[in-house]
């Protein structure tokens, strides 16, 4: 298209690669520049009459968190622009945001948002949802991971694909999405919360990153985005190795549903694999991904701690080492909540 920013062509290609050619893909739109730019890129495929994406169906979902006094007007304007772009169907879904969430307002909003996404997929028969995270979001996520000290997977940042969710714009910047919006004459909304330093991510965006660019390197964003790609490849490989090892170390569960891992073989695995196998066993027992502290305490049961446990994990999962002269000797036992 003459005069179109180069970012638009990149966005169209990335969106096309992630569309479900056989089903309905929804674009999640907040009314901000990132999500409107993604909607414009996806809509181009929706409107095509020839080529590999000619049959692609693209709709839109606007999630209203009701956290801003003008949220109804903002959501309505987003819906109008999505329809003008040709997306169909387009719906608004409310998000339930618990004000008393122990995880804080950002996590509470995210939980409510993803619940709305899944509800929309079920109601509309969609198979995928596209989310408009950009390179800037990725960089912020890497810094959050560094601050939390939470390992390779956290440094890998935001995945391009997980379950039904796709993120085509991770190689584009916010400046790119704004140029796409200007090209299409789209009127985006700047959420004031994005610049509010009371929120950790906003503080990273408005204070930490500008400081690092000024004092450390003007190319810090590119460096952190590259770190995320390298860490993601490493994490994917280690997780695939752990998934291959896990079945060989796992014994058949008994009537209580408890899982047992062969202790000697688990101890022989490299730490990076061993920790991931333990996490897989915890997930198989119905627990959430264990924190680093709880996972480290569990690993000590494997590597020679005098204590045989139990170690209490999140989700009421208990882990202990089998006692001598018991049927569980030489095994790491993961007991589910009902066990």
Residues at the binding site for ATP are: 30-35
Ranges assigned E (strand) in the chain: 24-29, 57-64, 90-94, 126-130, 161-162, 165-166, 250-251, 259-262, 311-313, 317-321, 331-335
CB 124 within 8 A of CB 89: yes
Q: Give exposure, 25-62, as e/b (b: 16+ Cβ within 10 Å).
A: bbbbbbbbbbbbbbbbbbbbbbeeeeeebeebbbbbbb
Cis peptide bond upstream of 160, omega within 30: no
Instruction: Detail the residues annotated as belonging to a binding site.
Output: 30-35
Residue corresponding to tokens 């997977």: 153
- Count Cβ atoms below 10 Å from residue 192 Cβ, excluding itself: 9
Q: What is the DSSP string of 134-160?
A: -HHHHHHHHHHHHHHT--HHHHT-S-S
Measure the N-to-C terminal CA separation of the chain; round to a whole number of Å.
62
Give the separation between CA 33 and CA 36, rounded to whole angstroms: 5
């Amino acid at each position: 298209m003459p005069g179109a920013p180069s970012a638009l062509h990149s966005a169209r290609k990335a969106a096309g690669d992630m569309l479900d050619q056989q089903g309905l893909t929804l674009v999640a739109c907040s009314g901000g520049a990132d999500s409107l730019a993604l909607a414009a890129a996806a809509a181009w495929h929706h409107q095509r009459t020839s080529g590999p994406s000619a049959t692609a169906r693209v709709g839109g979902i606007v999630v209203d968190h009701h956290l801003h006094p003008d949220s109804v007007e903002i959501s309505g304007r987003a819906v109008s622009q999505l329809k003008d772009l040709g997306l169909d169907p387009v719906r608004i879904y409310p998000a339930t945001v618990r004000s008393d969430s122990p995880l804080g307002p950002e996590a509470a909003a995210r939980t409510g948002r993803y619940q709305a996404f899944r509800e929309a997929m079920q109601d509309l028969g969609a198979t995928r949802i596209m989310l408009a995270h950009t390179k800037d979001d990725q960089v912020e996520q890497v810094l959050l991971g560094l601050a939390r000290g939470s390992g390779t997977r956290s440094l890998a940042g935001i995945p391009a694909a997980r379950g039904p969710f796709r993120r085509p714009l991770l190689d584009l910047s916010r400046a790119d999405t704004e140029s796409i919006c200007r090209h299409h004459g789209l009127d985006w909304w700047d959420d004031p919360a994005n610049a509010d330093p009371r929120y950790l991510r906003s503080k990273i965006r408005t204070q930490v990153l500008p400081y690092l660019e000024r004092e450390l390197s003007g190319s810090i964003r590119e460096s952190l985005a590259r770190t995320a790609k390298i860490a993601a490849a490493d994490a994917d490989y280690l997780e695939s190795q752990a998934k291959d090892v896990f079945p060989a170390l796992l014994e058949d569960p008994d009537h209580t549903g408890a899982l047992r891992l062969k202790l000697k073989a688990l101890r022989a695995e490299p730490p990076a694999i061993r920790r991931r196998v333990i996490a897989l066993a915890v997930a198989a027992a119905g627990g959430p991904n264990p924190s680093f502290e709880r996972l480290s305490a569990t690993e000590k049961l494997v590597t020679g701690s005098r204590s045989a446990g139990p170690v209490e994990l999140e989700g009421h999962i208990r882990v202990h080492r089998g006692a001598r002269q018991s049927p569980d000797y030489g095994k790491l036992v993961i007991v589910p909540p009902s066990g």
